[in-house]
Chains A and B, each alone.
Chain A
């Protein structure tokens, strides 16, 4: 065998002049489905529009445009190149909407077409917009490519037809090297034990393996963690429902738990059985060493999937800036001095109200606020938190989605481990992948139901981005990492985001294994970043501001406090809840009622006390200097929740700040760190070998930040010239200020003239 050749070569780096066979590297299993030549890709540039001739192909992996002068474009900047997806590639799951232009009218395309468009506009889920002019393409080819693209991206398909499987089969022999990324995958007993130990939860919680082979519940992972006293026989009683499942333990011993509510029953007998079962469960988790439990019911009073979906679809429209159709029709002329940025400036005037009306930022704020509330209970009130809802049900049920979102947000805020890259990846494995987030449905990878498509994971990443943006030194990873991660959702060679549950993955791999000579499929994980990026490019994932925790106190001492925490915390807790004598009992009833599906108005959540606690906690944290290796809370005031500019604005040339933006800061810091490092090396060398001081440290990111634009590392080729973007003047009516506007600056004091 040769050295492990990465199958990633199938990204279109071969010029179209080469023969068909060379186009796609066969071991990748990629197959050409249809193609069309002399397609004109419209490129927006500051001087107007430009067209590039080339070939449009559709494979079972992607839609790709192979420009005739590809080579010239590609050689330009190689610093941050995705090895799997080229600049002009759109993976099939990444396609969002397809529009055709017929006689200057834009129409969404789907199903069978009677007439074929002159122009194809593809909106991508990563917010790129492609324009392909088909005017010079042979009619036959137009038909084939348009219907091909529509068929392969817009019609429902079977899971088995995902490129993932053909790729895995084809790449079988190429030994996708085991990712030595140290990401904990949580697919073994050992991983869970390790996590329990790390968080000091092992004194009160244990890993169970009753669900090996997914015999108990298909929505639960093979291994999970429950309180110690719970017997393994209890778990299957209601197929895992009503069982408190451990997510994470706080340094003070409090834990974040989740539980699926029991199915609603009408029958009184069954109800009685359920009640006594829950009573038993409750008794075990509500006496020492366990802390007081507070339930957080996610199925009511919080966000709904519908809200998130509506908000995001409005929000993303703000960034899918489309060149006006009329101009594009004339784009057979290569250079047109057209104002294709009109839309950008038109929306610019009402930008803030447009943003607000999408309410995406408000949803982020609500998520963050909820997470702070949960954090407050864990951290300040020493309570266990039980996230409750129909978390096993995936369809049309918010609770399971919000459970993943909330529990992982809380953990990012509380546990500095999850603010490292490896830790963050482990967290996603634990809460999202093993937690059974329905990526397949939520991303609509199979195009089976648009209603199910809700960007919950993106919402989570956006929440994390807010934290990253507000507390830059606290995270080991950068916003670029988050952006790239959000893009990776749509690359169908990684198994990570293409299943609804570990069970589904297990089933699909298992069946395959019989076909393929008992060899299980070798699916890639997205955490193996080397598949997508060269080490040099991966450097942009590491935050130069991050300082590792000093090695001395690696949280070891915390464990020793653990046992005393309960006693210590009691007086504090009591003083707070003293006005409520019956707190304990009430809460029990509350919990049980909730679990039984008979929800009554909230006892705890509605009280003002909670609001006050929240405010006090929030204000007092923000009044102190943040400890980046401790609890981290976001600011949630109006001006502090922002648009994740890098992800959303990166393809819009008008929004590009040449030589500016965050990138400039980062670059400067990297530069300085490099200098410090090389100086250090010089000194070290000097000590070791009496005669150093000659070697020059190789620079890693040495392009002057003045030349980078704020869109770096994305959209490198959008604008080369250094012309400024001149706003097209637009002025909204001043309304009641109109009168003032008519006044002269000064109409007195003219006697002196």
Chain B
């Protein structure tokens, strides 16, 4: 089994860390937000003495294990070397604090980011720091070291601690005689992987995917001490003034787009998720297609994901619709209903005699999809292990035609007036591998001399480029060509979501606001069934799961690239995007739990958990871009060239104390904004004064000597 706890591994000595002092760690620029620092003092708003051993707790958080033995633990920091202190595990976080250094060294990570925990060395291992634990964090979750974010002072308040902070690999050395390792290990396993430990169904995700159960035999037996333990999101009890679960109202969003109209209608055909269990309850379909017909279309689309409207152009009525691949198979099956349906989508837009079908995949893969049988996997075999025999993967599907449904793409013969475009975006496995390489590139240190070619070898930015380029093509067809676009990949929940969401971001300024972006994520990602649980593996210790992939991260990276190219076009800032990504993994909020709207409803997440948007919208000023303005009606076309793409250092390399903190442009801008507001107020006052004087013109006001000193301009 690839998962979990290889006991008593032969002592792998921890890498000797660079003996250099990381000075950034003690950056005193801003009083650092509570508890989010690696290696710096926690200056809490309440000014509690730093000697406190317990971490600052969230409502609902519980200290599970601060035995006296957990005190003598050594953390091996790759930047500053070994440091001794106290290790605490709660049901939400892992907290390490050392008073050896001044200011005290603190490390704080939410358990949601833990990918696996390993024991290093046995009782007999010799040498210093050779006996202990290693915690490997999920791909892409790296912390900022000492943060200069968020810039405003409010952020030092109570919520800043919600940000997970960790370093990719956390190594803790224990004293073999102290017997602390076992209890820490057990607690880590228990609270970091509650989903894996509750196989019997006692855990909150009642509707555990069947495949998990199928995999049960290969998993290590649950720890004897494990009790039914929910993800922390279910225990988190913070109150916020706004309820983020109410933010997205599909009807309101469609109304904003002008729907229903004469060509499009809102259907409740999927109210019970019977038409398609991964789609939302409300769907927008061509007005001319009745509900009964939808079922027949669904039969021809993989997993029943029929083409539904995502966005409509306010002027040309050109639309973006999304779906999954048609089940044409190798024999080139056709479906009249599906063809008619796409014709209806096209007819809804009178401006163009043509419709564009964007297949996100590389054409080779799309072809292979036809012949590759999608087979039932024998029960008990994990997808990692099982692969169809090569012969099946390549050709010779005749024998399978009965039971297997081949995918594929719309042929231009069957679908009149369509143009099929392949966007050459690779699958989740390629992306996962690319991110793994990227992680190796930037951790623990960056090699200067070959930085660029190494970066190129990860292909990460190349993938980003292709995704952006694909979205650009879609946006261009819809905007300039006034043609409707149908977007799909294989299942229509990974690459399709990336493409439609990005294209909508380019076309519609509403999605570039804070709330608009939240709606976009709720709509294109959450409601249309991007499989967050599966792609991220919340609480699941099966770290080598082939279904994990940084699909959403890639999307956010693309958005970040766009904000770099258009620094004044987005209402939100980099910190907003980073916060979303942090809580993508933290399991503190319910937003990114489960795989579909149906599951979320069944688990009653809106009642039982807190939404990320509640937190974000309660302190908006931290997340807004001071430069924002003046772009709302523009279509943004980013340049999808390597010459303009860059690695998102502020996210991927933020743990590195040598990396540059946020640019000061924003602070200067905030300064100006404040100044402007101040002056505007003054002008208004004066104007009021003038008008009041002119109304009683005879009176002479006393000269305003009290404000004799004009405000100092910095211009």
Contacts and interface: CB of A to CB of B under 8 A. Distances in A.
List the 5 closest pairs (A to B, CB-CB), nearest first. A638-B451, A623-B23, A724-B637, A679-B679, A351-B642
A330 interface: no
Given A726-B472, A743-B427, A683 B643 contact: no
Interface in A713-753: 722-727, 729, 731-732, 734, 737, 740-753
B456 A350 contact: yes
B26 interface: yes
A113 interface: no
Interface in B642-689: 642-644, 646-647, 649, 653, 657-660, 663-665, 668-669, 672-673, 675-676, 679-680, 682-683, 686-687
A683 B679 contact: yes
A672 B672 contact: yes
Contact of A750 (B209, B375, B453): B375
Contact of B25 (A545, A623, A639, A672): A623
Interface stretch (A9-17, A33-41, A54-62, A614-622): A614-622
B405 A665 contact: no
A473 interface: yes
Given A673-B715, A750-B374, A727 B641 contact: yes
Given A348-B643, A680-B710, A619 B452 contact: no
Contacts of B462: 349, 731-732
A725 B637 contact: yes
13 contacts: A351-B456, A362-B448, A623-B27, A639-B446, A639-B647, A668-B567, A669-B627, A672-B672, A673-B672, A679-B679, A743-B427, A745-B494, A750-B376
B302 A753 contact: yes
B452 A637 contact: no
Contacts of B491: 745-746
Interface of B: 20-29, 209-211, 277, 302-304, 362, 365, 368-369, 372, 374-377, 383, 386-388, 393, 404-405, 424, 426-430, 433-434, 446-453, 455-456, 459, 461-462, 465-466, 469, 472-473, 475-476, 480, 489-491, 494, 547, 565-569, 627, 629-631, 634-644, 646-647, 649, 653, 657-660, 663-665, 668-669, 672-673, 675-676, 679-680, 682-683, 686-687, 690, 703-704, 707-708, 710-711, 713-715
B683 A734 contact: no
Given A672-B673, A731-B362, A750-B375, A741 B427 contact: yes
Given A619-B658, A669-B672, A654 B424 contact: no
B465 A727 contact: yes
A684 B712 CA distance: 11
Contacts of A656: 639
Contacts of A749: 209-211, 377, 383
A673 to B, nearest CB: 5
A361 B404 CA distance: 54
Nearest to B652: A639
B565 A661 contact: yes
B708 to A, nearest CB: 8
A668 B567 CA distance: 10
Given A619-B20, A741-B362, A744-B374, 7 more contacts: A345-B641, A623-B22, A624-B28, A649-B643, A727-B465, A745-B489, A747-B383
Contacts of A726: 469, 472-473, 476
A655 B644 contact: yes
Nearest to A747: B374
A660 B640 contact: no
A508 B657 CA distance: 55
A740 B635 contact: no
Interface in A688-712: 690-691, 693, 704-706, 710
Contacts of B565: 657, 660-661, 710
Interface stretch (A163-171, A352-360, A496-504, A520-528): A352-360
| Interface size classification for chain A | 35 or more
Interface string A39-52: 00000000000000
B26 A623 contact: yes
Given A639-B647, A726-B469, A745-B428, A706 B448 contact: no
A706 B634 contact: yes
A470 interface: yes
A687 B383 contact: no
Interface of A: 344-345, 348-353, 355-357, 361-362, 365, 470-473, 545, 547, 615-616, 619-625, 635-640, 642-643, 645, 649, 654-662, 664-665, 667-669, 672-673, 675-677, 679-680, 682-684, 686-687, 690-691, 693, 704-706, 710, 722-727, 729, 731-732, 734, 737, 740-753
Nearest to B664: A473
A2 B102 CA distance: 73
B426 A741 contact: yes
A675 B657 contact: no
Contacts of A705: 568, 630
A675 B672 CA distance: 9
Q: Which of B304, B377, B451, B657 has the most CB of A within 10 A?
A: B451
Given A352-B453, A675-B676, A679-B680, A668 B659 contact: no
B697 to A, nearest CB: 12
Nearest to A684: B710
Contacts of A620: 23
Contacts of B461: 352
B425 to A, nearest CB: 10
Contact of A676 (B372, B452, B634, B679): B679
A734 B430 contact: yes
Contact of B657 (A349, A619, A687, A747): A619
Contacts of A661: 565
Contacts of B433: 737, 740
A127 to B, nearest CB: 14
B569 A660 contact: yes
A624 B29 contact: yes
Contacts of B424: 729, 731
A349 B642 contact: yes
A336 B161 CA distance: 59
A662 B23 CA distance: 30
Contacts of A725: 637, 639-641
Nearest to A640: B660
B459 A723 contact: no
Nearest to B450: A356
A659 B427 contact: no
Contacts of A619: 20-24, 657-658
Contacts of B659: 635, 637, 639-640
A704 B631 CA distance: 9
A683 B683 contact: yes
A705 B569 CA distance: 10
B448 A637 contact: yes
B496 to A, nearest CB: 11
B664 A660 contact: no
A623 B657 contact: yes
B480 A723 contact: yes
A28 B428 CA distance: 66
A686 B693 CA distance: 13
A693 B669 contact: no
A472 B664 contact: yes
A740 B429 contact: yes
Nearest to B421: A729
Contacts of B640: 725, 727
Contacts of B24: 619, 622-623
Contact of B642 (A352, A704, A743): A352
A463 to B, nearest CB: 16
B434 A680 contact: no
B383 A704 contact: no
Contact of A722 (B209, B637, B714): B637
A637 B567 contact: no
A638 B26 contact: no
Contacts of B459: 732, 734, 737
A547 B714 CA distance: 7
Contact of B683 (A352, A547, A660, A679): A679
B663 to A, nearest CB: 7
